[in-house]
Amino acid sequence: MSSTVPKSSNIFWHDCPVGKADRQKLLKQKGCVVWITGLSGSGKSTLACTLGRELHTRGKLGYVLDGDNLRHGLNKDLGFKAEDRAENIRRVGEVAKLFADAGLVCIASLISPYRTDREACRALLSDGSFVEVFLNMSLELCEARDPKGLYKLARAGKIKGFTGIDDPYEAPLNCEIEIKEVNGVCPSPCDMAGQVVTYLEEKGFLDE
C-alpha cells in the first residue's frame, strides 16, 4: 500500500492569491465530493451521470470521476488486488479533493470496497464536504443486471477476485446517504439523483 508521507524532501507549499472561497463565489456553489460506492452493477455510473445532468440543468458545475473510465488512463497501471484498489481509491480521493478545491461538485463513482480506503478519502476533505452515497443493492439484483457479463465470467471462474463473488465488499457504517432497493425494486435513476440533490441543497452546497 502507498504511504501518505511524501518520498521527496525539500518541498514547499505555494499559496495562490485566488482561493477556494473566491472560486466558490464565482461559481455560486460550494466545492464538495459526492462519493458513490457499491457493488458492480449497483448503479454507480447511472447515478453519477444522472446527478451530473441534474446539476448541469440547474446551472451547477459538476464533474464525474468514474472508476471504470479512470482505469483507462490515470489508473491504467492498477489491477484489482487489495493494494491496487487502495492505490486506485487514494489517487481518485486526491483528484476529487482538487476538484472540490476548484469549487466543483465532484462525483466519484467507484466500487471502493474497503472502508479504510473510503475513510482515508473522507479525511482529505473538510468536515461535511465528503458525502458518501451507498448504493445498497443486493448481489442478486446486481448479478441479474450484469450489463457487462462480468458476474457470469466470475461465476465461471474466468475472472478471479471479483467483488461480491470471491472478493470482499465492506458496506459503509456511517454514510450520509443510503439508497436501497425495496422488495427487489430499485428507485429510478431520477429518484436516486433527486435524493442526492435534496441533500446537497439542504447542506447549502448549491448556494453561494
Ligand X SMILES: Nc1ncnc2c1ncn2[C@@H]1O[C@H](COP(=O)(O)OS(=O)(=O)O)[C@@H](OP(=O)(O)O)[C@H]1O
Which residues in this chain contact ligand X in the complex, by CB under 6 A? 40-41, 44-45, 67-68, 71, 80, 85, 88-89, 110-113, 148, 150, 159, 161-163, 167
Nearest distance from C-beta of residue 16 to ligand X, angstroms: 31
Smallest separation (angstroms) from ligand ADP to the CB of 175: 15
- Give yes or no for residue 172 binding ligand ADP (CB under 6 A): no
Would residue 42 show up in a list of annotated catalytic residues for this protein? no
Nearer to ligand ADP, 31 or 48 (CB): 48
203 binds ligand ADP, rule: CB under 6 A: no
3-state secondary structure the chain: CCCCCCCCCCCCCCCCCCCHHHHHHHHCCCCEEEEEECCCCCCHHHHHHHHHHHHHHCCCCEEEEEHHHHCCCCCCCCCCCHHHHHHHHHHHHHHHHHHHHCCCEEEEECCCCCHHHHHHHHHHCCCCCEEEEEEECCHHHHHHHCCCCHHHHHHCCCCCCCECCCECCCCCCCCCEEEECECCECCCHHHHHHHHHHHHHHCCCCCC
Kindly name the residue from 42, 109, 112, 129 that is annotated as catalytic.
112
Kindly indicate which of the ranges 43-51, 69-77, 112-120, 158-166 contains the residues binding ligand ADP, using the contact rule CB under 6 A.
43-51
Binding residues for ligand ADP, per CB under 6 A?
A: 38, 40-46, 145, 147, 186-189, 192
Q: Which residues are catalytic?
A: 112
